Amino acid sequence: MMGFFLFLFFMIPMVFMNFWYSYQFFYMFFIFMFMFLNINMSFTCLSYFMGIDYISFSLIILSFYIISLMNLASSFMFNYNTSFFSLVNYFICLFLFFIFFSLNMFVMYMSFEFILVPLVILILGWGYQPERLLSGIYLFFYTLFGSLPLFVFILYLYNDFYLLSFSFELYFNFNFFFHLMLVIPFLIKLPMFMLHFWLPKAHVQAPISGSMILAGLMLKIGGYGLIRLIYINEVFFFNYSYVWFSLGVLGSLMVSMVCLVQVDMKSLIAYSSVCHMGLCLVGILTMSYVGLFGSLVMMISHGLCSSALFCLANICYLRLNSRSLYLIKGMISFMPSLSFFWFLFICFNLGCPPSINFLSELVIIMSSIYYFDFSYFYLLMSCFFCACFSFYLYSYSQHGMFIDMYSYCNITVSEYLLLINHLFPLFMLCFLFMIF
């Protein structure tokens, strides 16, 4: 672990030298260096190499990949405060590295809290509207007050059992209050229905890099934490998971209907993230190998697809200075070269093959039927409404009469590169899963 930490530590001077291309190169070099290590891993069984399993391995690669795409998407910001912006992104990446690497509950909790600081700076410093202050407060206090009970529980474990590692198991049962203290910060970060109110506010006011990091990585911390907690004490979740399973199934259906009345592009995509993370929560709480695999695949697929949708919304916003579906019409005539990417990513968002989104939704529905027979009705309705609001987004934005006379707008090469880098893994990972 020390070699990877020193690699990241010596990237700090690159931030202040404005070597942007070298900075991007070292992020991608870290990914390849990490991918080709000979690590004896297994699924949710911690290895001897820094305790990495397939879950943390996948999420670490996703973290560095999304961070590098964030820098590419934010190239228009490099006219001012370039070094500070790159430094904020660097610290977000560093804290994500500690969250997914750490075997110590206290180290994970501290990284979980510290990542709020650069994220709030990103929203307040490069956000769009004056309401970004309110959205930063929502994000900060939701996470802070939700995670304080977890800190109390960690102190309780250390004082009574002298345990802070993720590698132990508790074979006795606590009451529901202790269970709530343990899972509430990760349910907020996921976010679960009724604990999701901070997410649309933070997404709407955040810059493109903030939206990408929120959709691509921050929501995955909640799922990762729940998976780790299940393997600490299965009795907890065996007794009480039906509560969160019910809220996940029902919330996914209700939020998908809420998407049908949204008029802001980023708000609609943010609510669709809540819907998909509800399905991810359902897969985790089935406590089966199939459900866990489906949830991991959905984390990866949603991180790429939702991040790409926010990039597309930002490209339209830069040209038209609006995200309202009442004003954005006829984009197929204004930016015809972009409509193909809109179509592909919206199809992937609703779970069309050959994307890994389809594979993940299919596996999660199979595992949820095994857990609760009648859940297929709610999940199929949720997928139906997901298709409805996806077509609603595409038809309202791409078709209709454009508000100005006919025009043609060029898309820059860097924006095409950004979208293709989101699209390529969504295709190729599906074929890799079929092969292996």
User: Cβ(31)–Cβ(61) under 8 Å?
Assistant: yes
| DSSP per position, 340-369 | HHHHHHHHHHTT-TTSHHHHHHHHHHHHHH
Distance CA 306, CA 413 (A): 21
Question: How many C-beta atoms lie closer than 10 Å to residue 307's C-beta?
Answer: 27
Report in angstroms the alpha-carbon separations of 236 from 43, 186, 285, 328: 21, 15, 11, 48
Residue 102 CA to its chain's centroid (Å): 19
CA 321 to chain centre: 26
**Hey, what long-range contacts does 375-379 have (CB within 8 A, 24 or more apart)?**
375/245, 375/249, 375/282, 378/249, 378/250, 378/252, 378/253, 379/249, 379/252, 379/279, 379/282
Backbone angles phi, psi at 165, to 5 degrees: -90, 150
* Closest to 415 measured CA to CA, from 69, 22, 26, 64: 69
Cα separation, 260 vs 242, whole angstroms: 28
At residue 86, what are phi and psi to the nearest 5 degrees? -65, -35
Q: Which two tokens stand for residue 262?
A: 């949204």
Q: In which residue are the tokens 């590419």 written?
A: 72
Give the C-alpha separation, 301 to 296, whole Å: 9
E strands, 91-181, in order: none
- What is the rounded distance in angstroms from the CA atom of residue 190 to the CA atom of residue 322? 28
Asked, as a colleague might, if the bond just before 200 is cis with ω within 30 of 0, I would say: no
The torsion defined by the Cα of 24, 25, 31 and 34, in degrees rounded to 10, comes to -130
- Asked whether the beta carbons of 283 and 298 are under 8 A apart, the reply is yes
State the angle between helix axes of 176-189 and 132-161 in degrees (0 to 180), rounded to the nearest 10: 140
- Of 321, 296, 394, 332, give the one whose Cα is nearest residue 100: 296
Size (the chain), residues? 436
- Residue 165's beta-bridge partner residues? 104
Give bridge partners of residue 324 from the DSSP assignment.
264
pLDDT number for residue 229? 86
Taking a C-beta distance cutoff of 8 angstroms, is the pair 401, 354 a contact? no
Calpha distance 66→24 (Å, rounded): 11
- Cα separation, 103 vs 165, whole angstroms: 6
How would you classify residue 366: left for phi > 0, otherwise alpha for psi between -120 and 50, otherwise beta?
Answer: alpha
At position 383, the amino acid (one-letter code) is: C
Asked if 283 contacts 294 with a C-beta cutoff of 8 angstroms, the reply is: yes
Tokens of 232: 């600490």
Tell me the pLDDT of the chain (436 aa) as tens digits: 677 778 888 888 877 776 677 778 888 888 888 887 766 666 656 666 666 788 888 898 999 999 888 888 876 655 556 778 888 888 998 899 889 888 888 888 999 889 989 998 888 888 877 778 888 888 888 888 888 888 888 888 888 777 788 777 776 666 788 888 888 999 998 888 888 888 888 888 888 888 898 888 888 999 999 988 888 878 878 888 888 999 999 999 999 999 998 889 999 999 999 999 999 999 999 988 899 999 999 999 999 999 999 999 988 888 888 888 888 888 888 888 888 999 999 999 988 888 888 889 999 999 999 888 888 888 889 989 988 999 999 998 888 776 655 555 678 888 888 899 899 888 888 777 665 4
The closest of 101, 367, 330, 332 to 245, measured between CA atoms, is 367
The DSSP line for 272-324 is HHHHHHHHHHHHHHT-SHHHHHHHHHHHHHHHHHHHHHHHHHHHHHHHHS--B
